[in-house]
Chains A and B, each alone.
Chain A
């Protein structure tokens, strides 16, 4: 089975900072990677799919890149509402088997 790792597991940042989170797959998944944001007590929210496609309504400060095994989520200028936990997810096979990364918690420095 394909596993995902994320780094860092947590980070502290200030409003306005550029933040980068990395997700690595144990084998190539082409561009079959999505990113989600989850705030405490809320359902996850899709940010990015197909590695780099911004979901409708998501601010353009969020961007994704990568293919194969290495992917990144970048927040160009961190805003107060961006403090949350971020998960990557893959589903490369059919029928689909999904895997989530362990998450990266972004909190206020």
Chain B
């Protein structure tokens, strides 16, 4: 059974930092891209970042580029999100999601979807 468990959320002051973790099990972790998706209270879903299976390729939403860093440790089946220079608008429930590509050509993969999600960890940025 595929399972993902996020941790590391909490209350942080504006300008502060936080590191989220997501432990995964039930699938070949290193074979899949992994992503972070967030949802502000009462709002819709917003993609944050994705990292490829071997960690060599990353992508970020413009809203977090330069402040957040996604990484993974395939030996520990764990995904991370380092969040710096946090702002009030980063307040949200952060989900990790297994990301599957429809097809790959060489080292490039296309048309991803999120087939499994964790339950989320809440990040609150407030003074």
Contacts from A to B (Cβ < 8 Å): 30-32, 34, 36, 38, 43-46, 49-50, 55, 87, 89, 91-103
Return the contact of A102 from the options B44, B102, B109 (Cβ within 8 A): B44
**Contacts A46-B114, A95-B57, A95-B58 known; A100 to B102 CB distance under 8 Å?**
no
Contacts from B to A (Cβ < 8 Å): 33, 35, 37, 44-47, 50, 52, 57-59, 61, 95, 99-100, 102, 108-120
Number of A-B contacts (CB under 8 A): 77
CB-based contact B114/A44 at 8 Å? yes
**Contacts A43-B119, A50-B102 known; A91 to B112 CB distance under 8 Å?**
yes
Q: Describe B's contact surface by its main secondary structure.
A: strand
**Contacts A32-B111, A89-B114 known; A100 to B44 CB distance under 8 Å?**
yes
